[in-house]
Chain A
């Protein structure tokens, strides 16, 4: 559990010291991609807890989820449908589900 936390702290401090801001237009894409990766992390933690973790599945899942989510927003913007909310809802639900399962494991030990 320590290593991911260390990674998170490294990432945050990198982001804080890196002088990079995203144009307002793209903030939406970024937020969805962010949620997708958050979902991936929770999924990974759950799989790790269940001892079903597969490295390739996890890494590919992370990238495809983030890209697909951003792509969905882009397509939605072209079609005039707010597919943004679809991604938000799906990832949000999954995060809470995974969190519930992780919590059970946490409580059982």
Chain B
């Protein structure tokens, strides 16, 4: 056996540090590899609880509808429709998200476009938020409604036909933890954006005020079908 006559203690000390780093690095690598099935499990369990919640809500609704008269349910339904259409301002728990362009300079030979925010990035974030149960979203004060576009317009972003330059502030109403997790998961949207140095900051808030849609609705081509359309 190799005899160490000197420096046992020092080498042992360094070995402690080395072992620690080894274990942490090992776990990080494993974490990266195994994060996809984990995501799947989380996804499924989340979906299950969401479906159960939906079922409970529907059961309650059935019960309520049986109890109330026609007029009451009509006013409630019209309120729901208004909230869904985005014509009333709403308040609730949620997140405020600020997204800004990358401060990093692009390396020579690289496309500087990679370090800017594009409509695709914003759409990914928004899509993830809707998927996580967001009930109302606004970008820089523009409420997102069914016909809202999110589109690059030169270096700016056009939302509801109004142009904005970075930074973009997204306000979301929903379950704050679920919303945050949906964005922050490994391999998720924020990690991808941060890889290019795009600055994303999240803040959970108890009170988020999402403004109403300020524009008008115009229907040139679409006409309602009179006999219910069912």
Contacts and interface: CB of A to CB of B under 8 A. Distances in A.
A22 to B, nearest CB: 5
Interface in A41-76: 41, 44-45, 47-49, 51, 53-55, 58-59, 62
Contacts, number: 146
Interface magnitude class on chain B:
35 or more
A24 to B, nearest CB: 6
A98 interface: no
Interface string A73-109: 0000000100000000000000000000010011001
A11 B25 CA distance: 12
Contact of A14 (B9, B23, B186): B23
A11 B17 contact: yes
B28 A55 contact: no
Contacts of A8: 15-16, 18-19
B89 interface: no
B16 A11 contact: yes
Interface string B4-15: 111111111111
B25 A22 contact: yes
Interface in A13-40: 13-16, 18, 20-22, 24-25, 27, 30-31, 33-34, 37-38, 40
Nearest to B12: A7
Interface of A is mostly: helix
A48 B14 CA distance: 14
Given A40-B14, A109-B3, A10 B19 contact: yes
A3 B23 contact: no
A49 B2 contact: yes
Contacts of B5: 48, 51, 53
30 contacts: A1-B4, A3-B9, A4-B4, A4-B11, A5-B15, A8-B16, A8-B18, A10-B19, A11-B17, A11-B19, A11-B20, A11-B21, A14-B23, A15-B19, A21-B31, A22-B24, A24-B28, A24-B32, A24-B191, A30-B21, A37-B21, A41-B11, A41-B18, A44-B11, A45-B11, A48-B6, A55-B10, A59-B14, A80-B107, A106-B2
Given A4-B12, A24-B28, A24-B32, 20 more contacts: A3-B9, A3-B11, A4-B4, A4-B15, A7-B11, A7-B13, A11-B16, A16-B27, A18-B23, A18-B24, A27-B28, A34-B21, A40-B14, A41-B15, A45-B2, A48-B6, A59-B10, A80-B107, A80-B109, A109-B3
Interface of B: 1-29, 31-32, 107-110, 186, 191, 194-195
Name the 7 nearest CB pairs between A and B, nearest first: A11-B19, A15-B23, A7-B12, A7-B15, A53-B6, A80-B107, A53-B7
